[in-house]
Amino acid sequence: MASDLKWSKHVEHIVRKANKVLGLLKRTVGGKNKDIFSNLYEILVCPILEYACPVWSPHLAKDIHEIEKVQRRASRIALNQRRQEMAYEERCKLLTWNSVV
């Protein structure tokens, strides 16, 4: 938390950390096997995004959007798709993922 009592810096930090792990997963597993990628995402990336979430509870739209962008990117990688190929909600249904926030 910053001196202005906002959690935006914290959100930036966890998003940066989650994107690093997601990049590692993309390089190693990529979209080759969606089930393995999905399991690794849920084990390695989701805890980074969700850790102590009830404490800092993202309520600013920009913070929620930044966190959700990580999952949007992960769903595209898991299904080996480009942007706008399939709606985010459809990708989440296909992968059986819930919203991060």
What pLDDT, in 10s, does the model give residues 53-90? 766 677 778 888 898 999 999 999 999 998 888 898 89
What pLDDT, in 10s, does the model give residues 23-54? 999 999 988 898 999 999 999 999 998 887 76
- Torsional sign, CA 48, 14, 68, 33: negative
3-state SS of 66-92 is: HHHHHHHHHHHHHCCCCCCCCCHHHHH
Residues ≥6 apart with Cβ < 8 Å to 61? none
User: What letter represents residue 51's amino acid?
Assistant: Y
Where exactly are the structural domains of the chain? 8-95
Question: 55: which 2 tokens?
Answer: 């404490």
